[in-house]
């Protein structure tokens, strides 16, 4: 039986986030039941975030027309929003890293396509997910670019690409029965290879306590070039995250680059624990957003830890302006800057 060619067969690859970007996507919070009493503050902060990101590249925001007046007013208060474009689409939630398009480039860098994976709100933890699951197809129609749809459930925050044929992920997410029951590790690796044009999957184990995603990689480890990994650590052996993060470090130390060499590994500490209603939140400095000439880093009102995190990330991304952004309110819904964004690579023309 004839089958359509896969992105890998067509010469597409999943670029690294530090490669040149054409735009970054966000989704405006439309529901009044999110963030409880801090929702007005979060909306102000997100408008500020869009304006901040627009200093470095075009910003595209999914926002239904009825709410665009409010958003435009908030952005006007925040600064120059001339590089921000609004798209009339209502989402269920703001975490478009997980349900938005995962863009690929061909080997020549002259053609862009998108992959559209099934989304079930992190293992059906939340019932409102249908609008989010349909967002990628809608964006594909607006952009007029080729879309490859996959039945496998996959969130964008679950994978991290070095742009050179490898991705990192976690077993606790991709092998979780709440995503793709009955699919083996080998089968998942094959689908990732076909869908992203990669040659190898590097597996960490588990994630942070309190992470609704079960343990996304973007709170744990990020490539900052094709042969270097920034990884989350916690020094306190009594911390609930210590054992998991120590195992992840051991695994990362055993990883090999595409050239067969050990990875350069840099440690990034966790912030001090942050709690909401007695439950620990999955606060991590790793949830930063790489832009053209900038990195936006979540901060948590912890002067010493925030300063260390900003300095560490600045060393990993020389030549980029590293800017802290207060996420103490934002993290109450479970994520930070990377979770709520989706980068779109640039195309050479």
User: Token pair for residue 205?
Assistant: 């184990």
96 part of the active site: no
CB 152 within 8 A of CB 120: no
Task: Give the Cα separation of 101 and 188 in Å (integer).
Answer: 19
Three-state secondary structure of 192-217 = HHHHHCCCEEEEECCCCCCCCCCCCH
Mean pLDDT computed over 269-284:
97
Residue 187 confidence (pLDDT) above 80: yes
Residue 340 confidence (pLDDT) above 90: yes
Reported as a single tens digit per residue, the pLDDT across 46-102 is 999 999 999 999 999 999 999 999 999 999 999 999 999 999 999 999 999 999 999
Mean pLDDT computed over 151-170:
98
Mean pLDDT computed over 171-181:
97
Average pLDDT of the chain?
97
Residue 1: the pLDDT is: 43
Cβ neighbour number for residue 218 with a 10 Å cutoff: 28
Mean pLDDT computed over 254-268:
97
Residue 349: the pLDDT is: 66
CB 293 within 8 A of CB 320: yes
Mean pLDDT computed over 208-215:
97
Task: Give the Cα separation of 349 and 239 in Å (integer).
Answer: 50
Mean pLDDT computed over 1-23:
91
- CA geometry: angle at 156 spanning 151 and 158, to 5°? 100
Residue 140: the pLDDT is: 97
Considering the candidates 63, 96, 113, 339, report the single residue annotated as catalytic. 339
Mean pLDDT computed over 208-229:
97
Mean pLDDT computed over 306-324:
98
Enumerate the β-bridge partners of residue 322.
295
Residue 24 confidence (pLDDT) above 60: yes
Find all residues with CB under 8 Å of 303, minimum gap 6, and list them: none
Mean pLDDT computed over 251-267:
97
Residue 225 confidence (pLDDT) above 80: yes
Residue 131 confidence (pLDDT) above 60: yes
Residue 2: the pLDDT is: 52
Q: Which residue has the tokens 């909306």?
A: 43
């Amino acid at each position: 039986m004839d089958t359509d060619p896969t992105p890998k067969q067509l010469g597409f690859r999943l670029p690294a986030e530090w490669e040149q970007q054409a735009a970054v996507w966000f989704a405006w919070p439309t529901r009044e039941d999110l963030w409880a009493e801090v929702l007005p503050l979060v909306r102000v902060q997100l408008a500020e975030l869009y304006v901040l990101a627009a200093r470095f590249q075009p910003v595209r925001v999914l926002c239904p027309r009825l709410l665009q007046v409010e958003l435009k007013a908030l952005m006007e208060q925040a600064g120059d929003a001339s590089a921000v474009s609004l798209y009339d689409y209502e989402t269920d939630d703001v975490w478009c890293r997980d349900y938005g398009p995962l863009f690929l480039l061909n080997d020549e860098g002259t053609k862009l396509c998108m992959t559209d994976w099934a989304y079930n709100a992190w293992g059906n933890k939340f019932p409102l997910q249908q609008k989010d699951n349909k967002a990628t197809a809608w964006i594909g129609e607006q952009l007029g670019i080729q879309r490859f749809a996959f039945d496998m459930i996959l969130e964008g925050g679950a994978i991290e690409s070095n742009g050179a044929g490898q991705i990192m992920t976690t077993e606790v997410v991709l092998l979780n029965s709440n995503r793709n029951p009955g699919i083996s590790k080998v089968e998942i690796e094959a689908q990732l290879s076909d869908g992203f044009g990669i040659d190898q999957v590097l597996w960490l184990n588990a994630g942070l306590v309190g992470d609704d995603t079960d343990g996304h990689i973007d709170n744990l480890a990020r490539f900052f070039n094709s042969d270097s990994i920034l990884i989350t650590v916690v020094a306190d052996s009594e911390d609930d995250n210590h054992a998991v993060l120590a195992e992840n470090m051991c695994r990362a130390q055993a990883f090999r680059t595409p050239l067969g060499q050990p990875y350069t590994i840099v440690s990034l500490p966790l912030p001090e624990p942050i709690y909401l209603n007695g439950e620990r939140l999955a606060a991590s400095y790793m949830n930063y957003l790489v832009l053209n000439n900038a990195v936006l880093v979540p901060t948590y009102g912890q002067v010493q830890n925030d300063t260390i995190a900003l300095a560490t990330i600045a060393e990993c991304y020389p030549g980029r302006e590293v800017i802290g952004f207060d996420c103490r309110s934002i993290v109450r819904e479970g994520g930070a800057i990377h979770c709520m964004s989706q980068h779109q690579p640039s195309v050479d023309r």
